[in-house]
Structure 1
Amino acid sequence: MLKKLFGLSKTKKEELVVAPLTGAVKNIEEVPDPVFAQRMMGDGIAIVPEEGVVVSPVDGEVVQLFHTKHAIGIKSSNGLEILIHVGLETVNLNGEGFEAHVATGQQVKAGDKLITFDLAFISEKAKSTITPIVITNGDAFGAVDKSLDIRAEKGTTQVMKIALEK
C-alpha cells in the first residue's frame, strides 16, 4: 500500500538513455545513410561528436564489440539493446583510429568509457562522423521519447526515454 501511495515500487516503467557522446543530437532520419535514416535497424537518434570518446548510455553488458572497434552493442539491465555506430562507412578503416576499452561480456555502468577514436582522422577518412545510436529490439518495448536538437554531454544528458511496456 505505501509503495503504491508514495511511488516506491521497484518496477521500472521506462529506460533512461544518456548520451554516449558529447555533441549535437539529431533525429535518426538526418543520418545520410538509408539503413539508419529509414530505421531498418531500429529507431533512435544520432549525435555529431565534438570529441572522440564513447561511453555507455545505460547500465548493462557489452554484448557485441566489432573487431574493427567502430561499433558496439550494449544490452541494458532491462533488456534494451543499443547499437552505437561511430561514423558512417567506418568499418572500412579496419580499426584504424579506434581503441576499445571494454570487452564482450563485460558489465558497464552508464558513463563508463567504451571506445575512443581519433575524431580528426575519422573526419578525414570516413563518409561522416555522425554516430547513430539505435534501439535494435525496440519492437519489444513501447514508445521512444527523444531529446532532439540539443547539445548533449556524454554520460549525463538524457537523450531517450523508452517505455518498457507496450
Structure 2
Amino acid sequence: MADVTFKGNPITLVGDEVKVGDQAPNFKVLDQDLNEVTLDKFKGQVKIISVVPSVDTGVCAAQTKRFNDEAEKIQNVSVLTISMDLPFAQKRWSTENGIEHVDIYSDHRDASFGENYGVLMKELRLLARSVFIIDEHDKVTYTEYVSEGTNHPDYDSAIEAVKKLQ
C-alpha cells in the first residue's frame, strides 16, 4: 500500500491499492440527488477520477476547480470528483463555485469507492487525496496516491496521461 500521511500523521488506508494496468474496480456512490452511480455509467469513456477528503477545504477546493478548468479544454473525457461529503453539501459547494464540467459524487454511505480503490482513511473515515485515469475499456492507466493529504496532486502528469489516451 501507498504510505500516506494527513497533517504529518501516518494514516491507514483500507482496501487494496489500484495499480496501472488493473481493471478499474467498480464502485457505488451517490450523486447530488441521492441516486446511485457506478462505474458502468461511464462505460466507453475516458475518466479522470479526482479524489478529495472534502470539497469544503482549501486544497480540495483548488483541486476540484483545477480539474473543472481542465475538463473544459479536454474533449470526450468524464471528470469525477469523489469525496465523503454529503451530497447536499456537494451540491451547495458546486453551485457556489460554478463547477460545470466536473460531476461530484459522495461515497459517504457505503465507502464503496474508498475501499475498492484503497483510499479510505481508517482513522478519519475520509478519502485520501488521489487521482486515477481510466481508459474507455476501464483499464487504469495512471494513479497517484498523494503522500501527504494536505498536498496537491501532480495535475500536469494527470492531464498528460489523459492526453495520451486521445
Larger-gyration structure (1/2): 1
TM range (shorter): 0.3 to 0.5
Q: Comparing both structures, which one devotes a greater share of its residues to helix?
A: 2
Q: TM-score, normalised by structure 1?
A: 0.37
Q: TM-score, normalised by structure 2?
A: 0.37
Q: Comparing both structures, which one devotes a greater share of its residues to strand?
A: 1
